[in-house]
Amino acid sequence: MRRGIALGLILILLLGLSGCAGKQEPAADNASIVVGFSQLGSESSWRIANTVSMEQAAKEAGFSLMMENANQKQEKQIDAIRSFIAYRVDVIVFSPIVETGWDNVLTEAKQAGIPVILMDRMIETQDDSLYTAYIGADFYAEGQRAGEYLVRKADALGAEHLRIAEIHGTTDSTPMRDRQKGFMDVISGDPRFTVIDSVDGDFLRSKGEECAQQLLKQHGTEGIDVIYSHNDSMMLGVLDVLDKKKIQPGKDILLITVDGEKDAVDALKAGRINCVVQCTPDLGPAVMDLVRDLTAGKELPKVNHPDEGAFSDFDNLNDPAVEGF
């Protein structure tokens, strides 16, 4: 009898504790769903935050996540996808490093009956049935936002002519192509703007630094008015170079960047960067919602974009909404 009371008390205590945690337990049957996730690398703070977002969201949803990091190598991503097919995962999620070269491996996934969700980056293919859905930024709109900021800034400064150097991301990746196109589509009809150079910084801080050195050597410290960087990591490398050369960032050279990581937003608040276009890495929860819907037999929207905007020196930068990740 006394043993029965003790067991009852333990049960009440355990129930009470799980109630205190205030978290919903993942549905029991989610645990049997295996998601194979091929991450493309760890090239930037954005990418690292994106990996964390995926891991946390999978844990919260109760899915088993098999993750492979390809360290910026397309062959490793292809190998990872093949291993997910061999393992017979329920869903494959992957972030393609470049747009081309996926048709064969995705055809294998399709033949094995495993649905594929593209996360963050798109692929170029004649056969849209090779993936079920895309979730990630509208990179073209991001490029447009960068261009629109520049037009507004040129108007405000009364600038007659601005020479722009672009440091672009990984050649042939979706953000590289679309951030460039969106930006050019906004500024190219305007005679005040000339893009004097465009160099590949591969989304890496170290390469951003090298690119800035190379650009300043080529065009002279007075030969560049604007640097447009396709991500914050590369822009932080640019800042290091400008500081060493005693060039005032955000004043002597206007700086426009994309992502919204904390260091870049802090630099914007300090007047060292002029515009930060947002690109959220926190895609994990929305990816897991898609996995849940897919495994429940629901039809997914083909393209899913998060809401994003931009912060710039035209904004009230004391607003608590202006913050980085």
The residue within the footprint of ligand AHR, chosen from 279, 288, 291, 310 (CB under 6 A), is 279
123/162 with CB nearer ligand AHR: 123
226/279 with CB nearer ligand AHR: 279
258 lines the binding site for ligand AHR (CB under 6 A): yes
The residue within the footprint of ligand AHR, chosen from 36, 38, 49, 121 (CB under 6 A), is 121
| Cβ-Cβ contacts under 8 Å for 73 (sequence gap 6 or more) | 97
62/96 with CB nearer ligand AHR: 96
280 lines the binding site for ligand AHR (CB under 6 A): no
Smallest gap from Cβ 281 to ligand AHR, in A, equals: 8
203 lines the binding site for ligand AHR (CB under 6 A): yes
Copy the structure tokens of residue 107: 């055809």
278 lines the binding site for ligand AHR (CB under 6 A): no
Smallest gap from Cβ 7 to ligand AHR, in A, equals: 53
The residue within the footprint of ligand AHR, chosen from 186, 259, 283, 312 (CB under 6 A), is 259
Q: Distance (Å, rounded) from C-alpha 154 to C-alpha 220?
A: 22
162/283 with CB nearer ligand AHR: 283
**Burial (CB count within 10 angstroms: exposed 0-12, middle 13-18, buried 19+), residue 315:** middle
Asked if residues 147 and 187 have their Cβ atoms less than 8 Å apart, the reply is: yes
Asked if residues 304 and 133 have their Cβ atoms less than 8 Å apart, the reply is: yes
Pick from 291, 286, 262: which is nearest to 276 by CA? 262
Copy the structure tokens of residue 137: 């930024």
Q: How far is CA 238 from CA 89, 110, 152, 157, 198, in A?
A: 42, 43, 23, 23, 14
Smallest gap from Cβ 40 to ligand AHR, in A, equals: 8
**Burial (CB count within 10 angstroms: exposed 0-12, middle 13-18, buried 19+), residue 93:** buried
30/231 with CB nearer ligand AHR: 231
Pick out residues in 173-202 that bind ligand AHR (CB under 6 A): 175
Smallest gap from Cβ 110 to ligand AHR, in A, equals: 24
Residue found by looking up tokens 């355990």 in the block: 14
231 lines the binding site for ligand AHR (CB under 6 A): yes
Q: Which strands sit side by side in the sheet containing 254-259, from one edge to the other?
A: 193-200, 162-168, 226-229, 254-259, 275-278, 310-312
**Helix, strand, or coil (residue 267):** helix
120 lines the binding site for ligand AHR (CB under 6 A): yes
Pick out residues in 11-50 that bind ligand AHR (CB under 6 A): 43-44, 46-47
Total site size for ligand AHR, rule CB under 6 A: 13
Binding residues (CB under 6 A) for ligand AHR: these are 43-44, 46-47, 120-121, 175, 203, 231, 233, 258-259, 279
